[in-house]
Each structure stands twice: as C-alpha cells, then as structure tokens.
Structure 1
Amino acid sequence: MLEDSVDPAMLRHHGDVEARPGMLDFAVNVQGLAPPDWLRDRLTARLADLGRYPSADDEHAARAAVAARHGRSPDEVLLLAGAAEGFAMLPRLTPRLAAVIHPSFTEPELALREADVPVTRVILDRPYTLDPTLVPEDADLVVLGNPTNPTSVLHAARTIQALRRPGRLIVVDEAFADAVVERAPSGLADEPESLARLSAPDVIVFRSLTKTWALAGLRCGYALGAPEVLARLAHGRPHWPLGTLQLEAIIATAEPAAVAESRRCAARIAVDRAAMIERLAALGLDVHTPATGPFLLLRAPDGALLRKRLADRGIAVRRADTFPGLGHDHLRVAVRGAAEVDRLIDALNAALW
C-alpha cells in the first residue's frame, strides 16, 4: 500500500459503529454488557465521593495495585484513561521514524500520522508471523499488538525482544493479554508471552481494562515502562487526568481475586473460541488459526456483502478491511457463548446460501 494512499477515516474506524442498538453484537470485543456485580458495587460505593477531586491517595493506591499485579515498582506505572490515551501520547516520544506492525489496531498509526511523525507500515502476510528483520533498522519506535487485533495471533515474547536495538523504543499493545491462557504441565498458564513483567528501559506495554471487565464507557488502562520514558509520555498532561471511578476500577481489577477471575474468564473464552472455530469452519468459512484472543479473523467470498446480509438479520460483525494488509473479504467476530453463536450460525446459513 502506498503511503500517500492512507485514509484517516479507515484508521479511525472501530467496531462500535457496526453495532446499532438492538443488534446481536459480534463486532465489539468487550466481554458482557456490564461489569460484574462486585465491580459495580465497588464503583457505586464511590459515588458519594464525586463531589471531591480525585485524591492523590487513590492515584498512588492504583499505581501500587498495578505494580503489585505485574511485579513492577509504582514508578513504572502510568495510569491512563484507556489504552487509547496512551496511543495518543506516542508522538511525545518524538520518534524520527515509527514502524507499525500490521495488520493491527490502527489508533497508534493514526496518532503518529496526525502529529506528522513519519510512519512505515510493516505488513505481515498470512499467517501473520512476526519477522523482526522486516522492520527498518532506522526505525526508532516500533509498535505492535500481542495478541494482535484482528488476527488473534500471539507473538512469542522472545521474537518481540528481538526487535530491540540501541536507541529504539518498543511499544506493545497488550489490550487483550488478560484474555489469553495456555495449557502448561502445571495447568493453565495465564498471559503467556506477555512482557508486562519485563523491566526494561526500551519496552513500553499498554494494558486495557475495557475488554475483560466491560468498562468501555469508563476508559481505564495503564502503561508499564521505565519511569523516564513514562514521564515523556505524560509531559503536558492536565491535572486529575483520571476520575475517582476510573482509579477505583483500576485498583479493584488489579487485586488478586480479580486477577483470578480474569484467568477463569480467559479459560472460558478459550473453550468458546474452539467451539466457535469448529462451527464456522463447518460452514466453509476461512477461519484464521491458531487464534489466541477473544476474537476471530474470517475470510469469506464477498465478505462485505455477507456483513450487510448479517446486519439485515440483526447481527453485527466487524469489517476488517480497515486494518492495513486485509481486504473486503475479511471480517472479525468476537468470541461469544453457545447461545449467541447459535444465532450467528443460523444467520450465516441464511446469508451464505
């Protein structure tokens, strides 16, 4: 794709615009319609505090909770109003040349381009395996997702670390890392290939609470990295960047009981994903595997028409041609439970034949 052909509207497109009210939503990767009851209770209990400004104690408590969750120090944590805020901060790192690994989430590239940062796209061909040698040596900022949206590919941590060079920063979008588990001899290993516990001067990890905890409307996330790099990201930020409820949500979801719950959720997603792959493949759809995230990348002849036919039947799926490297035949679907997948399969049977 030629650099001068970049369409900002395509980079800005997100799945939420596909799902109109009343539709069965396979377009957005949020798990559930609302946070779990215990989390809602925690947030409700803080409503009486909204007449006061967010406190420094809450901010410190949130950073400490995140640090403990990932084995880091509090000064290696930058709290964010969603991981998207972190992507908007990337131009403050003043890279000379940014390399963005695609297909992947497009907000980082959009933020860099809007700040007139030179960007080169490193587009991976199927099976979308990361090859560090494809990244230009003069790129001093490299951005990638792990697991990657929308391919559901999980890159090996050692391969990501092979991108490291003197004078280069690596940014890893781990928005879906807490939804990934793998089977190990000792049982289920959570968050495989994550770099969240890596204390390094040149690696920044973005995390989101949006997906697992159904908090898209509250905007919560954080960055993990070297204190001096996080300070560059946060330079010029307004006072009280996060509200009381955001801070409470970050504290609550970093606690050990919540981490254990997210691990159980990830195990359930893995079961649902395997069943969903089998059913979609039985219809003759091309489902990209192996898949590790809470979503699947599909390819179908005339996928754009299929998406419209599904929408006419009240089911929203995500167009995937807005991701660099993919085309009109590509679609992304969120992993859902059996009852919802039954409805999707029925609609696909009607739309495909």
Structure 2
Amino acid sequence: MHTEAAGPDLRHHGDAEVRDGGSALVDLAVNVRADTPPAWLRERVAASLGSLAAYPDGRAARAAVAARHGLPVERVLLTAGAAEAFVLLARALKVRRPVVVHPQFTEPEAALRDAGHTVDRVLLREADGFRLDPAAVPEDADLVVIGNPTNPTSVLHPAATITELARPGRTLVVDEAFMDAVPGEREALAGRTDVPGLVVLRSLTKTWGLAGLRIGYVLAAPETIIDLERAQPLWPVSTPALAAAEACVAPRALAEAAHAAHRIAADRGHLVAGLAQFADAGLRAVAPAEGPFVLVRLPHAGAVRHRLRGLGYAVRRGDTFPGLGEEWLRLAVRDRTTTDGFLRTLGRAVAEPA
C-alpha cells in the first residue's frame, strides 16, 4: 500500500475510446450492455415525458427500490447515476483517512481528491489474482472504497471477505454497479443491515443501457442517507430517470436481468476461450472473470489497441487504472458474433510487427 498524488488519468473512461470514432467503431470499450434499453423500457421512459411540467417526485421510485432490496425507504437514496453518489460521499462525509482499493473504477478517488481529501491506495497484485487481502487496508482508514465485481479486473470478491473490512467508525463503500450482471447476484451486500458502516452503490445504467439518462442509488443507514441527501441539489433525478428506476426494479425487469446475467456469463466464457488462442503471443486474461468484461495483459498492448482501432474495434486501455500499466486492456463482453469478429481482428492486430 502506498499513497500517490499523481499518476494515471483518473478522468479517462471507456466512452473516450469510442467518442472520436463514432458509429464506425465496434464498441468493446464501454461496459454498457449492448442492444439496450429494451423497447418496453424506452416506452416506459417516453410515457413519463407528459409529466415534465411538474417537479420530479421520487417517492414511488424510492419505495420500489427499497422493496426490491427488502429495506425501509429511509435506507435508500436515488442519485443521478452511481457517479453522483461518489461525489456526495466525498463532500458529505467527514473522513480523515480515505482509502481506495485499486485497480478499480477511478471516479471514487477522483471525487475524493476534488473534495480536498488526501487518498491512500491499496494496490491489489496481479500475482494474487487481484484478490482482496483485508489485512492490506490500514487499520485507521475511516473510509474504504472497493468495487464488487471490480471494474476493470472482473474479480468477484467473497462477501465475507469484504465484510472483514467493516469497523466501528469506518464507512465501507462497496460499488456493486455490475452485481446484477452476476448470476444470482452471489456475494452481493445490497440489502444487508448487519454490517456496520456499510454503504452499497448500485447503477441501473449498465445492465439497462441508461448511461445517457443517469440513474442509480445508494443503500445505507438512515443517518448516512440524510447526510448524503443534504449534499444533493434539489430534484437531482429527472422524471424520466425516476420512471426508469421504478421500471427496472419491477419483477419483470429483475427476471429479464437475471436471464441476461446468464447469457453474459456464457458469452464471457466464449470470449475467454477465444482469447486462449493468443497465449503464445503472451496474452493472459485475469481469471476467473465474473463481470461483463475481461481484463487482459498483452505485450505491446498500446500498439495493438491502436491497430484494433484502425481495423474498426474500440477496446479500453488499462494504464489509466492505478495498479495497472501499458500492457493492460479491458474488453467488454458482447454477443458471440461480435466476439468472433473481434477475435479474428485481434489476430491481425497481434500479428503485425511491433
């Protein structure tokens, strides 16, 4: 574990990989499920547009989220995506020593730094499979942030291991933005009320293709929810986003998400099996991958990424994640036809001289 004030670009995200290429690029860089939102969800959002003259009323959506996790509404806060929640946590909580477990989504650290905090990093090691060792986290850390399953490593940490980080006087933030892509949501902590200081973040943008709408939520003790709510602007979540939230936690949507999680797992297995053909070229995938993306290490990955771009495919560079370097790439899981086309193209990109 060590502290860093500078280093990777924490504000770089997967959308930057496809922004300049537009629709010409096949997108394996952004971790939003393809072919979403579904028609029924688009219709539900569109139906809400007739209410835009009124200020947003989040009570029904908040109650729906609470019911989905078996919690009282006092333990739920709706946010403009999980990213807003990181900003609220950084601004509202009075912490002395925040620690972020990396490699992971970089917005939590960026938000903490923007709020004036000095952030310590616990860097998980490739040699350990990027698995969490709770003993690596400083005992005096009063805020700990970890993703599960973790972006970009696709590691799913056991819930029991994560709860070892809980302490009286410590806030334990678990980013479960991709948990609904895990079959059965095993190892989820959402809905738990027995873990002291636990704050769980969920996003509805990844599974449902709502990145442009911005909707997520926080699950935490009522006093923490009150502190975060005070830091929010008035009416932070729009009426269409509230309609989406209510729809996405309904039984029909949960059943569809569960089915999608199994399909993603199968498609991920197909991708990982296909990547094995490049072992002689030095490619190694972090295993077992449990999220809707796979992290790979590949010699000359930067050059390969540029070649892939020229051949019509966007992948996510890994060197902007603390704890990784220029030899890392993150690949979003797509359907088998898309994956097969990517694997053929990857073969061309790898075969070109360095």
Report the TM-score when normalising by structure 2: 0.94
**One of 244, 249, 258 as aligned partner of 1:254:** 249
Q: 2:124 maps to what in 1?
A: 124
- Give the match for residue 207 of structure 1: 202
C-alpha distance in 2, partners of 1:258/1:192?
A: 18
Query: Closer, same or farther in 2 for the Cα pair 1:159/1:2, shift >3 Å?
Result: closer
Residue 262 of structure 2 aligns to which amino acid in structure 1?
Answer: A
Q: Match for residue 49 of structure 1? A: 51
Q: Is the 8 A contact 2:247 2:253 kept in 1?
A: yes
Q: Does 2:176 correspond to 1:174?
A: yes
- In the TM superposition, residue 241 of structure 1 has moved relative to its aligned partner by 1.1
From 262, 265, 270, give the equivalent of 2:265. Answer: 270
Letter in 1 for 2:88: M
* Equivalent residue, structure 1, for 2:104: 104
Corresponding residue of 1:75: 74
> Which position in structure 2 is the counterpart of 1:32?
34
User: Mapping of 1:1-353 within 5 angstroms?
Assistant: 3-7=3-7, 10-19=9-18, 20-21=21-22, 22-55=24-57, 59-91=58-90, 92-126=92-126, 127-181=129-183, 190-199=184-193, 200-284=195-279, 285-353=283-351
Give the gaps of 5 or more residues in structure 2.
none
Following superposition, the deviation at residue 201 of structure 1 comes to: 4.4
3-state SS, counterpart of residue 327 of structure 1: coil
Please report how far the alpha carbon of residue 34 of structure 1 lies from its aligned counterpart in structure 2 after TM superposition. Answer: 3.4
The more displaced of 245-254 and 28-37 is: 28-37
Q: Secondary structure at the match of 1:163?
A: coil
| AA partner of residue 83 (structure 1) | A
Mapped partners of 1:165, 1:2: distance in 2: 21
Q: CA deviation at 1:344?
A: 0.6
Alignment deviations for residues 71-130 of structure 1 (CA, whole Å, 9 cap, x no partner):
111110000000000001122112100010010000000111111212110001020111
| Native 8 Å contact 1:124 1:130 kept in 2 | yes
Worse overlay, 26-35 or 316-325: 26-35
Alignment partners' CA distance in 2, 1:118 and 1:179: 33
Report the identity percentage: 52
Per-residue deviation, 1:244: 0.6
Contact 1:307 1:317 in 2 (8 A): yes
Distance 1:3 1:95 in 2: 16
Offset of residue 239 of structure 1: 1.5
Amino acid at match of 2:329: L
RMSD, aligned CA: 1.2
How many Å apart are 1:173 and its aligned residue? Answer: 0.2
Tell me what 1:184 maps to.
Answer: none
- Give the aligned residue type for 2:45: L
- Assess if the C-alpha contact under 8 Å between 1:201 and 1:229 holds in 2: no
- Work out the CA distance in 2 between the residues paired with 1:237 and 1:290: 38
Query: In structure 1, how many angstroms separate the alpha carbons of the residues matched to 2:64 and 2:45?
Result: 16
Give the Å deviation of 1:33: 4.3
1:343 Cα deviation from its structure 2 partner: 1.4
SS of residue matched to 1:148: coil
Q: Which moved more, 1:341-350 or 1:168-177?
A: 341-350
Q: What's the CA shift for 1:274?
A: 0.5
1:2 Cα deviation after fit? 6.5
Per-residue CA distance 1:304-347 (angstroms, 9 max, x = gap): 01100000111000001111110100000000111111211111
- Structure-2 separation of matches of 1:121 and 1:3: 6
Q: Please give the secondary structure, in 2, of the residue aligned with 1:318.
A: strand
Contact 2:166 2:196 in 1 (8 A): no
The separation in 1 between residues aligned to 2:155 and 2:237, in whole angstroms, is: 32
Gaps in structure 1 of 5+ consecutive residues: 182-189
CA deviation after TM superposition for structure 1 residue 236, in Å: 3.3
Distance in 2 between the 1:299 and 1:142 partners? 27
Tell me the distance in 2 between the aligned counterparts of 1:35 and 1:4: 39
Shift of 1:40: 0.6
CA contact (8 A) 1:201 1:225 kept: no
Q: Provide the TM-score with structure 1 as the length reference.
A: 0.94
* Residues in 2 aligned to 1:4 and 1:209: alpha-carbon distance in whole angstroms: 31
For 2:11 and 2:37, the matched residues in 1 are separated by: 26
